[in-house]
Amino acid sequence: MTHKFLKEVCQEVSKYPRPVNSLGSTYTKDLVKEFAIKNNLPLSIEEHRSKTTPTHFFLKAKKLVKLNILNEFKEHVEGKIFIVEIEKLKYINTLQDYIPILLIKDIVDIELYKDKINDIKPKAVIFSLTTIDTNFYQRVFNFNMPVFSIGYKDLEYIEELTYITLEPIKEEQIEIENISFDIGRGPIVYVITSISSKDDSYGSIYSASSIALTLGIAQSFCKHYNSDFKFRFFFTEEDSYNFESIQKHISKNLKHVYYAISVFNMGWTNKSCFYEDAHGDNSLYMSEKFYKYAKSINQNIFFLKTKTMSFLHAPFKNKDVKTLMLGSYPCIVSNTKYDNIESVRFEELCSWFEILSGFLRRFHAL
């Protein structure tokens, strides 16, 4: 029954793209609220005004080419441009006058070369995936310069350019909505997921599957709850680089919070538990416990660290809350135009449900 519920919710959420304050986002928020009301759960709804910068702009070339902003971009940059395979960077000592376009095979590649890129000091970096032609949106951290992505087919339109100037886009004020409900009593454990997707993606793998997983676990706890912890299921539209609305939330809601778990890409292979991310260590103790539990029930999972990626649990770290970051990684199609309901691996979503719901039910034994 639960597996059917997971699929139905994922399909329902995947009907529309879900950028902040969109029809799809509103539709999904209403779905979450209706779930809480139907199950008589105490519902909390917060609205925060948050600064945001559009996540893309257009570069003037043979045709207008879309550049996606993957980290902070606050200052004008300009420089010479050339296209280079990322493996060739090891032969380059400096790029201080340049904005290179890096050709990479996988999103993991740019992480492998992060230190080298920072050492050779380009003005900015634009990268393009060579194995799939799509606009790529995953946030990256710990680069000392702005990082952008570009679709592979768009390279032909900018090959004749030798010099480019990039101007930041003006920040906007938007309303961000956070929704949460609690099950149980005791010290609080957050389970955090994103509602959002990009405007050209259905985000079925990225966030629809995570929403389905979170509601599926909540539904199972409504039917049978036996724990010394209170579980707070937290859904947010937050999509900014600095997690502003989440920081505002935890500034008023931190009492008795002991753990924060974030989930993403629940509808894909490569299940991963991150003991470290771009914002530092996650709880090694809890990460090891989760990894060992997954292995004990014969589930394949990676135990790894990343220096360039993070997620919605990050603001809790500064408040001494123990964190756990779970996701399927790498997932090259996540939050792209190819991220739709047909791409979801439902057997993986069900597998994630068995692992995380079982782990949370045994949380008191940690």
Is residue 11 predicted with pLDDT exceeding 90?
Answer: yes
289: left (phi over 0), alpha (psi -120 to 50) or beta: alpha
For the chain, give the number of residues. 366
Q: Tell me, what's the pLDDT at 48?
A: 87
Element (H, E) at 230: strand 230-236
Q: Tell me, what's the pLDDT at 366?
A: 74
Q: 112: which residues sit within 8 A by CB, 6+ positions away?
A: none
Band of residue 45 on the pLDDT scale cut at 50, 70, 90: very high
Is residue 174 predicted with pLDDT exceeding 90?
Answer: no
Give the tens place of pLDDT for each residue, 218-227.
999 998 888 8
Nearest Cα neighbor of 200 from 70, 339, 58 is: 339
Domain 2-53+173-365 is of which CATH architecture?
3-Layer(aba) Sandwich (3.40)
Nearest Cα neighbor of 49 from 158, 135, 148, 177 is: 177
Separation of alpha carbons 87 and 203, rounded Å? 31
Give the tens place of pLDDT for each residue, 71-97.
989 899 999 999 999 999 999 999 999
Q: Which residue has the tokens 């405007």?
A: 199
Q: Tell me, what's the pLDDT at 1?
A: 64
Q: Which amino acid is it at 260? A: A
Q: Which residue has the tokens 């680089």?
A: 241
Give the tens place of pLDDT for each residue, 95-132.
999 999 999 999 999 999 999 999 999 999 999 999 98
Q: Tell me, what's the pLDDT at 337?
A: 93
Is residue 44 predicted with pLDDT exceeding 70?
Answer: yes
Buried b (16+ CB within 10 A) or exposed e, 225-239: eebebbbbbbbbbbb
Average pLDDT score over residue span 300-313: 96
Is residue 165 predicted with pLDDT exceeding 70?
Answer: yes
Average pLDDT score over residue span 312-338: 95
The two three-digit tokens of residue 359, written as one number: 């782990």
The answer to whether 317 and 280 have CB atoms below 8 angstroms apart is: yes
Q: Edge-to-edge strand order for the sheet containing 64-69?
A: 56-60, 64-69, 147-149, 125-129, 98-104, 77-85, 163-166
Q: Tell me, what's the pLDDT at 277?
A: 97
Give the CA distances from residue 195 to residues 96, 133, 148, 215, 302, in Å, rounded to whole numbers and listed in that order.
39, 25, 23, 12, 25
Per-domain boundaries in the chain: 2-53+173-365, 56-166
> In CATH, which of 3.50.30.30, 3.90.870.40, 3.40.50.720, 3.40.1800.10 is domain 56-166?
3.50.30.30
Q: Tell me, what's the pLDDT at 238?
A: 86
The answer to whether 119 and 92 have CB atoms below 8 angstroms apart is: no
Nearest Cα neighbor of 127 from 119, 315, 117 is: 117
**How high does pLDDT run on average in the chain?**
94
Task: List % helix, strand, coil for the chain (3-state, nearest 5).
Answer: 35, 30, 40
Is residue 349 predicted with pLDDT exceeding 90?
Answer: yes
Q: Tell me, what's the pLDDT at 13?
A: 98
φ, ψ of residue 309 to 5 degrees: the values are: -130, 150
Q: Which residues are 255's β-sheet partners?
A: none
